[in-house]
A and B are shown apart, each in its own frame.
Chain A
Amino acid sequence: MSGLVLISYGLIAFGMIFHALGAISLFRFPDVYTRMHGTTMITTFGSIFVILGVAFYGFLANDFALAAHPLIALAFLLLAAPASSHATARAAHRSGVYPKPAIVDRLREAEK
């Protein structure tokens, strides 16, 4: 429990770096679509490492529930996150928020 717990702290810290970068991307990127790439980074890499850190901590503490439940939460997060991202992007495009700047917009060309 003593030295190995540092691995779990390290995993959580590594995930937090990606959470922070995702939050910064909301300010740095210009429109809704590019910002959503930053939030995808939060749900994948950030959450995967934080959840693995918590699960590893539960494994070290011999707490089976604490080790298993975060992994189930991760599975459902990875199932639900793309659906919500896709719904937000589709709703934005349908309500007339077009990507700006963009080198090409094939969807708008197809709708015309």
Chain B
Amino acid sequence: MLFFVCAFFSFVLYLILTAGSGNIGLWAPEEIALAFIFAVPTGLIASRMLSALGFKGGTAFLSPRRWLLFFIYIIVSFIPALVKANLDVAMRVITGKINPGIVKISPKLKTDFGMTMLANSITLTPGTLSVSIDDKKKELYIHGISLSGKDAPISEICGNFPEWAGRVAE
């Protein structure tokens, strides 16, 4: 099953890269044939690597409900936080006011997929950076550039990202 998921995404990516090349939809027939030919070895290699890492399932990536929730998350929650954090850090570059430190947060997520999504969202937002992860307790160590105190609350570090990560990934 993992093989089909990897091959499917390889196929879709090749079609996006070659869009506009012909007249079957947007594609030339040679490009569609090549997308099939490349998808098979790509799917084989990727699924072998992922299962060697202990990755199971993978069908969650094909669920339309999750993709819809993911795009809602990007527009409603992530982009406003990104704009705010960028302007904040830009001001701190100019004024030089910083109050850095590494804090620990417990986001109460269960799956690796959810933790990865949360950690990536936190790292992509300027001003917060995930330094390390405790796999067993599911805790994240976050470096923040402007903390309010030694025990900064989780909402100050990452807003409502944990709720959204739970909704999309679990």
| B16 contacts the other chain (CB 8 A) | yes
Q: Considering the chains assembled together, what is the distance between the CA atoms of A31 and B129 in angstroms?
A: 14
- Closest chain A residue, CB of each to CB of B18: A65
Q: Considering the chains assembled together, what is the distance between the CA atoms of A33 and B130 in angstroms?
A: 10
Cβ distance A35 to chain B, nearest Cβ, rounded Å: 10
Q: Considering the chains assembled together, what is the distance between the CA atoms of A24 and B94 in angstroms?
A: 9
List chain A residues, Cβ under 8 A from B132. Answer: 90, 93, 107
A-side interface mostly: helix
Given the known interface contacts A41-B90, A68-B19, the answer about A34 and B100 at a Cβ–Cβ threshold of 8 Å is yes
The answer to whether B123 touches A103 (Cβ under 8 A) is no
The answer to whether A33 touches B143 (Cβ under 8 A) is yes
The answer to whether B82 touches A38 (Cβ under 8 A) is no
Q: Considering the chains assembled together, what is the distance between the CA atoms of A58 and B70 in angstroms?
A: 27
The answer to whether A90 touches B131 (Cβ under 8 A) is yes
- B contact residues vs A (CB 8 Å cutoff): 13, 16-17, 19-20, 82-83, 86, 89-90, 93-94, 96, 98-104, 119-121, 123-127, 129-132, 134, 141, 143, 145, 147, 149-150
